[in-house]
């Protein structure tokens, strides 16, 4: 099998490429240049796709004895991931750029080019399992629950899964991957994992958004509409946030208040008690299935609303307008723009972008 190994410069993708070589595949390594800022440097465990990362990927490919290329996907990344991130925050939503990158860059743009060039599959260092089931290929959670990345891969379609290769899916732990890398002589064996948003390497998302979106004074109100504070831009807030509110009017019961809603049109932020973060229903129009679609329009499943959240048993219903999910117990602090990934046991059924939430706690009269 001809395999294109996406090599980020980290230990996971290097070991994944090495395992693909060991399996006897014809492997070519590629590093994606996602920024045209030539002086971009890595800051510890923050950021990725930097000069250092490209050099680390090249050294790994040289050690493995495979051809290596750097492909410039910076324009596509800017338009499909960074611009989407800014637009979502402008709309008062909370996007997941890693999931969007998988959807539009690694398993769309990259995979499309790979197939055009005659490759059979794209290999990555993601922790997830692929299983050939009775109705086609299925995406499942990785063996190591602590490293499972199936949530951010929930956007993959049946066609994409057919050309995907995850050599790390059965690995017991990240420690095993690092030990294997050291045994192979890979210099990235102890390289820190990347954290935060790769295109905001200093971790200051609020400052970055203020620069891109601008600031505009607005009001912070409680659920009754009473003004309890002020802000310099609604884009700086997200549902569930507690810190940084600087409210001028304390809650009647003296308890902390949390962001419940962001209203970009009126530039207003709504706050309330923690219990008001309980969400009894979510829905979204943009959805996809990771393999074969469910056989019935209504079905039981588990739903995960964040990369590291616990899955919640739920009832899902698919209609002409999208997917609606009612959890057995309320979700905690869901923001429009987040992705809800549906599971049946370890199998990923599909995902949708949350457009609407319904509070499980009614507003008091």
Decide: helix, strand or coil at residue 119. Answer: coil
Residue-level pLDDT at 222: 93
Q: What pLDDT band is residue 206 in, cutting at 50, 70 and 90? A: confident
301 is catalytic: no
pLDDT at 39 over 80: no
Which residues make Cβ contacts (< 8 Å) with residue 230, sequence separation at least 6?
217, 218, 219, 220, 248
249 and 320 assigned to the same domain: no
CATH number of the domain where residue 45 is located: 3.40.50.620
Examine the pLDDT at 363 and tell me if it is beyond 70. no
Q: Tell me, yes or no, whether 152 lies in a domain.
A: no
Do 174 and 54 fall within a single domain?
yes
Q: The pTM is what?
A: 0.91
* % residues pLDDT > 70 (the chain): 95
pLDDT at 46 over 70: no
Give the pLDDT mean for 348-359: 95
The answer to whether position 140 is within a domain reads no
Which DSSP symbol is given to 165? E
Query: Residue 351 is part of which domain span?
Result: 278-359
Q: Is the distance from CB of 269 to CB of 220 less than 8 angstroms?
A: yes
227 contacts 221 by C-beta, under 8 angstroms: yes
Our answer to whether residue 198 is catalytic in this structure is yes
Residue 250: per-residue pLDDT: 82
At 364 the pLDDT is 57
Active-site option among 48, 123, 198, 301: 198
What's the pLDDT score for residue 195? 67
Q: Is 49 helix (H, G, I), strand (E, B) or coil?
A: coil
Grouping H, G, I as helix, E, B as strand and the rest as coil, residue 280 is strand
Q: Which has the closest alpha carbon to 173: 11, 7, 363?
A: 11
Residue 252: which pLDDT band, with cuts at 50, 70 and 90?
confident
Among 48, 49, 98, 101, the active-site one is: 101
User: E strands along 74-184, which residues?
Assistant: 121-123, 128-133, 136-141, 164-165
Q: Say whether both 258 and 228 belong to one domain.
A: yes
């Amino acid at each position: 099998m001809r395999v294109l190994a996406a090599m980020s410069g980290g230990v996971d993708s290097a070991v994944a490429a090495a395992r693909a070589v060991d399996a006897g595949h014809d492997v070519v390594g590629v590093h994606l240049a996602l920024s045209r800022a030539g002086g971009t440097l890595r800051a510890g465990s923050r950021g990725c796709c930097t000069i250092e990362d490209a050099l680390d990927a090249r050294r790994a490919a040289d050690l493995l004895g495979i051809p290596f290329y750097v492909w410039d996907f910076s324009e596509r990344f800017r338009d499909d991931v960074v611009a989407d991130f800014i637009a979502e925050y402008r709309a008062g939503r909370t996007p997941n750029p890693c999931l969007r990158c998988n959807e539009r860059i690694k398993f769309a743009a990259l995979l499309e080019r790979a197939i055009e060039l005659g490759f059979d599959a794209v290999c990555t260092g993601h922790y997830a399992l692929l299983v050939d089931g009775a109705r086609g290929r299925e995406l499942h959670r990785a063996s190591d629950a602590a490293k499972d990345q199936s949530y951010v891969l929930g956007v993959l379609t049946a066609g994409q899964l057919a050309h995907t290769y995850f050599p790390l899916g059965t690995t017991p732990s990240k420690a095993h991957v690092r030990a294997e890398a050291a045994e192979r002589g890979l210099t990235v064996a102890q390289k820190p994992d990347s954290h935060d948003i790769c295109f905001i390497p200093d971790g200051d998302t609020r400052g970055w958004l203020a620069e891109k979106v601008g600031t505009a004074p607005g009001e912070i109100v409680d659920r009754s509409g009473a003004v309890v504070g002020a802000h310099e831009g609604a884009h700086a807030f997200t549902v569930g946030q507690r810190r940084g509110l600087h409210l001028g009017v304390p809650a009647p019961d003296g308890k902390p208040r949390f962001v419940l809603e962001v209203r970009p049109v009126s530039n207003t932020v709504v706050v309330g008690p923690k219990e008001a973060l309980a969400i009894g229903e979510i829905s979204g129009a943009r959805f996809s299935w990771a393999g074969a679609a469910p056989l019935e329009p209504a079905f039981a499943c588990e739903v995960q609303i964040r990369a590291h959240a616990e899955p919640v048993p739920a009832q899902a219903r698919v209609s002409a307008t999208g997917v609606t999910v009612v959890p057995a117990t309320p979700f905690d602090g869901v923001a429009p723009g987040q992705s809800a990934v549906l599971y049946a046991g370890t199998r990923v059924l599909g995902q949708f972008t949350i457009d609407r939430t319904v509070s499980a706690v009614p507003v008091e009269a």
